[in-house]
């Protein structure tokens, strides 16, 4: 018999895997807590002991799967670094991560607490990382100092969200490097 702590760790990660895989297989809206419990071979009370809702559980599964995939490089060229990082985000949005994230955002439209949780779990920490990278670029004179860092982040990522939620399949959509360059054009110091 494994120690209880070890068993609980395994159950925790089995649940996160189950919600992720089931959402990819069936679509977020069709996944129930019952199905997650069955797939993870745990009881429903175990799930509810750790997470208040399917949305909160899916958010943690998303967060864990995203891992370091959205970390920022620092090559000294903010445009190149943003193009690389946002291309990674765009690939995540177009793949399995996007399927679950769209489901969570959809559910959040009727649940303000879940909007808050999305911001706290997924958006906030990454906006902080982005802001840290942009702050270095401002110091180096690559970006104008008069626009709040969080504003710059919002402008950059808004089009990726728009594409994930409403744009799939549209032929006119910009490639990520072009979005980055166009937005940065407005954020560079006036010469």
Cα-based distances in Å from 38 to 19, 53, 105: 11, 16, 25
Cβ–Cβ < 8 Å for 74, 136: yes
Site for a copy of itself in 59-78 (CB under 8 A): none
* Cα–Cα distance for residue pair 82/88, rounded to 1 Å: 10
- Interface residue with a copy of itself among 12, 39, 63, 150 (CB under 8 A) is 150
How deeply is 121 buried, as exposed, middle or buried, from its count of CB atoms within 10 A (0-12, 13-18, 19+)? middle
State the minimum distance, in angstroms, from the CB of residue 161 to a copy of itself: 5
Q: 29-45 burial string, b = 16+ CB within 10 Å, else e?
A: eebebeebbebbebeee
String of contacts with a copy of itself for each residue 9-38, x by CB under 8 A: ------------------xxxx--------
Specify the residue, 103 or 137, whose C-beta has the smaller distance to a copy of itself. Answer: 103
Specify the residue, 12 or 26, whose C-beta has the smaller distance to a copy of itself. Answer: 26
Helix 4-26 with 54-66: angle, nearest 10 deg: 90
- Interface residue with a copy of itself among 83, 102, 126, 133 (CB under 8 A) is 102
State the minimum distance, in angstroms, from the CB of residue 6 to a copy of itself: 37
Site for a copy of itself in 104-143 (CB under 8 A): 105-110, 112, 115, 118-119, 123
Rg of the chain taking only CA atoms, in angstroms: 19
- Interface residue with a copy of itself among 151, 176, 177, 189 (CB under 8 A) is 151
| Residue ranges binding a copy of itself (CB under 8 A) | 27-30, 102-103, 105-110, 112, 115, 118-119, 123, 147-148, 150-151, 154-155, 157-159, 161-162, 165-170, 172-174, 178-179, 182-187
């Amino acid at each position: 018999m494994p120690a209880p702590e070890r068993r609980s760790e395994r159950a925790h990660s089995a649940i996160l895997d189950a919600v992720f895989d089931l959402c990819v297989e069936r679509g977020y809206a069709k996944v129930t807590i019952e199905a997650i419990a069955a797939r993870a071979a745990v009881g429903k009370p175990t799930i509810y002991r750790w997470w208040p809702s399917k949305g909160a559980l899916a958010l943690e599964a998303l967060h864990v799967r995203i891992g370091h995939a959205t970390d920022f490089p620092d090559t000294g060229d903010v445009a190149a670094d943003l193009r690389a990082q946002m291309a990674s985000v765009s690939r995540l949005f177009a793949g399995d991560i996007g399927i679950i994230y769209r489901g969570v955002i959809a559910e959040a439209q009727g649940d303000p607490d879940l909007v808050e949780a999305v911001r706290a779990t997924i958006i906030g920490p990454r906006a902080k990382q982005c802001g840290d990278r942009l702050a270095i670029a401002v110091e180096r004179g690559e970006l104008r100092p008069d626009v709040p860092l969080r504003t710059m982040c919002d402008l950059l990522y808004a089009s990726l969200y728009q594409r994930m939620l409403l744009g799939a399949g549209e032929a006119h959509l910009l490639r990520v490097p072009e979005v980055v360059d166009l937005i940065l054009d407005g954020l560079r110091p006036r010469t």
